[in-house]
Amino acid sequence: MCDSCGCDLTDSHNHNHSHDTNSRVIEVHQSLLAANDAIAAENKAHFEAIGVVAINMISSPGSGKTTLLEKTIERLKGKIRIGVIEGDIETDRDAQRIRAKGVPVIQLTTGGACHLDAAQIHKGLHLLEKEPGGDKLDLLFIENVGNLVCPATFDLGEHQRVVLVSVPEGPDKPSKYPKAFISSQIFVITKTDLLPYFDFPVEEAKADALHLNPRLEVMALSATSGQGFEAWIDYLKKITSNKDSAIQMEG
Amino acid sequence: MHEMSLVQALLAQLASLAAEHNKKRVITVTLDIGPLSGVVIDSFQFGFDILSAEDSLTKGAKLIIINPPATYQCIRCAYKQAALVRPDHCPKCNETLLIPEGGDTIILNQVEME
């Protein structure tokens, strides 16, 4: 018989307590993400110390994150100093595309892991600072591994989180992958030039996303045709503008 | 399958707790996993079963997962309700826009060790 509860069960695996009197219950009450979150907080402090606004971009593979970044860099050249940390499981193809646009970029390959974590960003940031121009940035894009699920759980220390869904993926992504939409500030619907060819009710997708997160700001754009692109550019100018004036004052 | 990364974080935390309290074996681990945490509990359990068996400290340990509700606050009347599954509307004013609060944490609460 168990001395603790008086039951007849001898299999400790059916119990909330052990039958061994040497055992002890330790109260922990700490997040499993505590180690990641501590590094994320250091990353954020570092971003602020060097005066950079960091954006974490989360989407499925093929939603057009890299194309959006290419067009954004072209559009903001000479106005906002942009750097990019690319996350992928394998290859540096995305980094090559961004490097061709003439901005500092670092490719992180996770070697199988489905998301970036704060420690990888810490490392990536130091590598980026060694690239020409990488130590003088206004805006840092972190292009997460293409995956609408896992990256949503890991804080990287970013100031803003942007979730993207492309028209060919369909309008039901917010409902199916709620965490990415609940944890983001901006929802960008991409490839709107393809709307005539796909059944993608934009208003329905917006409503579904707002249903999950009423604070979400929604944009719909095509990086290829330029449709709706100004709202995105205005948003980037807005989040970097306070810092710009601060830098000018210092200069 | 980021649950595997989270299980690794849990096992690292268990190893440091065991060292700190001079214990040799973990008997039970109690976790709170919120409904908005983005964690699939079955996947987490699967990862724990596989990885915990690789270490004598955690071999045979039992995982108890509690799924606490999230709070949803109405954007119009500010009424709050707790729920495991997202409610369709506010029961007071019928508004459909509800702001989720909490329910997104993954907390290691208790560890029984010997």
Delimit the domains of chain B by residue range. 3-69+103-113
Delimit the domains of chain A by residue range. 51-250
pLDDT at A18: 52
User: Strand pairing partners for A25?
Assistant: B112
CATH number for the segment(s) B3-69+103-113: 3.30.2320.50
pLDDT at B2: 87
Please report how the helices A65-76 and A229-250 are oriented relative to each other, as an axis angle in degrees rounded to 10: 50
pLDDT at A247: 41
pLDDT at A11: 52
pLDDT at A21: 62
Give the lowest-confidence range in A79-83, A246-250, B60-64. A246-250
Name the band, by pLDDT with cuts 50, 70 and 90, for residue A15. low
Name the band, by pLDDT with cuts 50, 70 and 90, for residue B10. very high
> Any chain B CB within 8 A of the CB of A212?
yes
Decide if pLDDT at B5 tops 80: yes
How far away is chain B from the Cα of A188, in angstroms, using its nearest Cα?
20
ipTM comes to 0.85
Decide if A214 contacts B97 (C-beta within 8 A).
yes
pLDDT at B55: 93
Q: Are strands B70-74 and B80-83 parallel, antiparallel or unpaired?
A: antiparallel
Decide if pLDDT at A111 tops 80: yes
Contact residues, chain A, for B6 at CB < 8 Å:
32-33, 153
Question: What would the mean pLDDT of A11-31 be, rounded to a whole number?
Answer: 71
pLDDT at A110: 87
Query: For the purposes of burial, counting CB atoms within 10 Å of the CB of A215, is it exposed (0-12), middle (13-18) or buried (19 or more)?
Result: exposed
Contact residues, chain B, for A115 at CB < 8 Å:
2, 5
pLDDT at B50: 95
Decide if pLDDT at A245 tops 70: no
pLDDT at A249: 43
Q: Do B111 and A211 touch (CB under 8 A)?
A: no
Decide if pLDDT at A100 tops 50: yes
pLDDT at A19: 55
**Which single residue is written with the structure tokens 């394998």?**
A90
> Any chain B CB within 8 A of the CB of A41?
no
Contact residues, chain B, for A179 at CB < 8 Å:
36-38, 104
Decide if pLDDT at A150 tops 50: yes
Instruction: For A5, list phi and psi in degrees, rounded to 5.
Output: -120, -5
Q: Do A22 and B6 touch (CB under 8 A)?
A: no
Q: What percent of chain A has pLDDT over 70?
A: 88
> Any chain A CB within 8 A of the CB of B23?
yes
Q: Do A23 and B114 touch (CB under 8 A)?
A: yes
Question: What would the mean pLDDT of A219-235 be, rounded to a whole number?
Answer: 97
Helix (H) or strand (E) holding A137: none
> Any chain A CB within 8 A of the CB of B106?
yes
Decide if pLDDT at A14 tops 90: no
Residues in CB range of A96: below 8 A, 6 or more apart: none
Q: Do A17 and B6 touch (CB under 8 A)?
A: no
Instruction: For B110, list phi and psi in degrees, rounded to 5.
Output: -135, 150
Helix (H) or strand (E) holding A57: strand A53-59
Decide if pLDDT at A17 tops 70: no
Q: Which residue type occupies B66?
A: I
Residues in CB range of A249: below 8 A, 6 or more apart: none
Decide if pLDDT at A161 tops 50: yes
Could you tell me which residue, A245 or A197, shows the higher pLDDT? A197
Task: Select the CATH number that applies to the domain covering A51-250 from these four: 1.20.950.20, 3.20.20.70, 3.40.50.300, 3.30.9.10.
Answer: 3.40.50.300
Taking the complete model, does pTM exceed 0.90, yes or no? no
pLDDT at A123: 95
Q: A185-211 pLDDT, tens per residue?
A: 999 999 999 999 999 999 999 999 999
Q: Do A150 and B1 touch (CB under 8 A)?
A: yes
Decide if pLDDT at A215 tops 50: yes
Decide if pLDDT at B24 tops 90: yes
User: Strand pairing partners for A108?
Assistant: A87
